[in-house]
Structure 1
Amino acid sequence: MSGDAAGAAGAGAQGGRVVEVDVLRGFALFGILLVNAQLMADPYTAFGGGPGASALDRAAAWGVTATTTAYQLFSFLLGYSFVLDRRAAGPSDTGSAPRHLRRTAGLFGLGLAHAVLLYPGDILMTYAALGLVLYALRDLTPRAAVRVAVCLVAGLAALLLAYGLLTVALTGPVTPAQYAPRVADTVAAYRGGFGSVIGAHLRELPSALGANLMYTPDMLAAFLAGLAAAKAGLVERRGRDRAWLRRTALRWLPVGLAGGAVTAVCADGPLDSRWFLVGHAVSLLTAPALTASYACGVLLLADAVRPAADVLAAAGRMALSH
Structure 2
Amino acid sequence: MGILLVNALMMATPYALGAADDPGASTLDRTVEGIVQTFVVGKFYLMFSFLFGYSFTLQLASADRDGASAVPRLLRRSLGLLVLGVLHAVLLYIGDILMTYAVLGLILIAARNCSAETALRAARIVYGCVSALMLLMGLAFLLMSDAEAAELDAELAAGFVGLVDDYRGDAASVVQANIGQLPDALLAALLMSGFVLAAFLTGLHCGKRRLLTDTGNQKAQMRRIFVLGAAVGLPGSLFMALAISGPLGPRWAVLGQMVGTVTAPALTATYVCGMLLLMKTARGARIAALFAPAGRMALTNYLSQSLVMALVFTAYGLALYDRLSPAIVVLGALVLYATQLALSTRLMARHRYGPVEWLLRAVTLARLPHDRDRSAAATR
TM-score band, normalised by shorter chain: 0.7 to 0.9
**1:309 pairs with 2:281:** no
C-alpha displacement at 1:146, in angstroms? 1.2
Question: Partner of 1:196 in structure 2?
Answer: 173
From 204, 217, 231, give the equivalent of 1:227: 204
Q: Residue 295 of structure 1 aligns to which amino acid in structure 2? A: V
Higher relative contact order (Cα pairs below 8 Å, separated by 6+ residues) = 1
CA distance in 1, matches of 2:254, 2:67: 42
Matched, 1:174 2:134: no
Gaps of 5+ in 1: 1-29
Give the partner amino acid of 1:317: R
For 1:260, the aligned partner's letter is: S
Cα drift, residue 114 of structure 1: 0.7
Residues 287 and 153 (structure 1), Cα distance of their counterparts in 2 relative to 1, 3 Å cut: same
User: Which residue does the alignment assign to 2:304?
Assistant: none
Contact 1:154–1:285 at 8 Å: present in 2 too? no
Q: State which of 58, 74, 77 in structure 2 corresponds to 1:103.
A: 77
154-163 vs 172-181, greater mean Cα deviation: 172-181
Partner of 1:8: none
CA contact (8 A) 2:20 2:156 kept: no
- Tell whether the 8 Å contact from 1:79 to 1:224 is kept in structure 2 after alignment: yes
Give the distance between the partners of 1:227 and 1:188, measured in 2 at CA: 44
Contact 1:42–1:49 at 8 Å: present in 2 too?
no
Corresponding residue to 1:121 among 86, 95, 100: 95
1:146 and 2:120 matched = yes
**How far off is 1:178 after superposition?**
4.0
Matched with 1:212 is: 189
Deviation string, structure 1 residues 129-172 (Cα, Å, up to 9, x no partner): 00111111112212111111111111111111212222221462
Q: Aligned Cα RMSD in Å?
A: 2.3
**SS in structure 2 of the partner of residue 234 of structure 1:** coil
Between stretches 126-135 and 43-52, larger displacement belongs to: 43-52
Q: Which runs of 5+ in 2 are unaligned?
A: 301-356, 358-380
Matches within 5 A, 1:157-172: 157-170=131-144, 172=148
Inter-partner Cα distance in structure 2 for 1:280 and 1:94? 44
TM-score normalized with structure 2 length: 0.71
Shift of residue 302, structure 1, vs aligned partner: 2.9
* CA drift at 1:191: 0.9
1:93-127 alpha-carbon deviations (Å, 9 max, x no partner): 85211111111111011111111111111111111
Show the counterpart of 1:27: none
What letter is aligned with 1:75? S
Distance 2:48 2:9 in 1: 18
Per the alignment, do residues 278 and 93 of structure 1 end up closer, same or farther by CA in structure 2, a change over 3 Å counting?
farther
Give 1:101's aligned amino acid: L
* CA shift for structure 1 position 237: 2.9
1:58 matched residue in structure 2: 30
Post-superposition shift, 1:215? 1.1
Amino acid at match of 1:173: A
1:303 deviates by: 3.3
Amino acid at match of 1:198: V
**Structure 1 stretch displaced more, 290-299 or 258-267:** 258-267
Q: Structure 1 residue 177: deviation in Å? A: 4.4
CA distance in 1, matches of 2:238, 2:298: 34
CA distance in 2, matches of 1:177, 1:278: 18
Aligned with 2:6 (options 35, 51, 56): 35
Contact 1:161/1:277 (CA < 8 Å) preserved in 2? no
1:284-299 alignment runs, 5 A limit: 284-299=261-276
Alignment deviations for residues 203-248 of structure 1 (CA, whole Å, 9 cap, x no partner): 1111111101111111100000000011111112325755554443
Q: CA deviation at 1:276?
A: 3.6
8 Å contact from structure 1 (residues 256, 288) kept in 2 = yes
State percent identity of aligned pairs: 44
Cα distance change, pair 80–204 in 1 and its aligned pair in 2 (3 A):
same
**TM-score between the two structures when normalised by the length of structure 1:** 0.83
